[in-house]
Amino acid sequence: MKGLIQRVSYARVTVDKEIFSEISTGLLLLLGVEKPDDASAAAKLCSKVIRYRVFPDDHGRMNRSLLDIGGSLLVVPQFTLAADTGSGTRPGFSVAASPDLANGLFREFVAVAEQHLGKTRVGQGQFGADMKVALENDGPVTFLLEVGGDNSQK
């Protein structure tokens, strides 16, 4: 499972020209699900995301997490993160999870995030929709985080 996190001043998802979800200070997470991923991977990645220290402390060092600052999380399903870009000039998607598996693990990830942060601090995109994502990247600060399920070597 892959998560691209961006520290944001705000972020929002629009579907059919309507704001679907939005957050203020926090993290935008683009979530990619691969075939070997499972609920364990979702829980591990969620724990890592909400505890990842990317916010400045009193000395300006990245030493505070989303939990530490009381920030929000916007989780957006991102099928293309599971692309194989190792060769050629066209991405391959043979390692991407099926839509049913990916949607289930996306929902699992959101549920775990809501348990840790509370429902009011977790927003989400709409699985399978044509979404427009707007954000103000703070820094910019962007990291790619990866974890594997119980059967994966990541």
Catalytic residue annotation:
78-80
Encoded amino acid at 83, one letter: A
Q: How far apart are CA 22 and CA 24, in angstroms?
A: 7
Give 16: exposed, middle or buried? Use CB within 10 Å, 0-12, 13-18, 19+: exposed
Q: Which two tokens stand for residue 107?
A: 């929902």
For 132, other C-beta atoms within 10 Å of its C-beta total 14
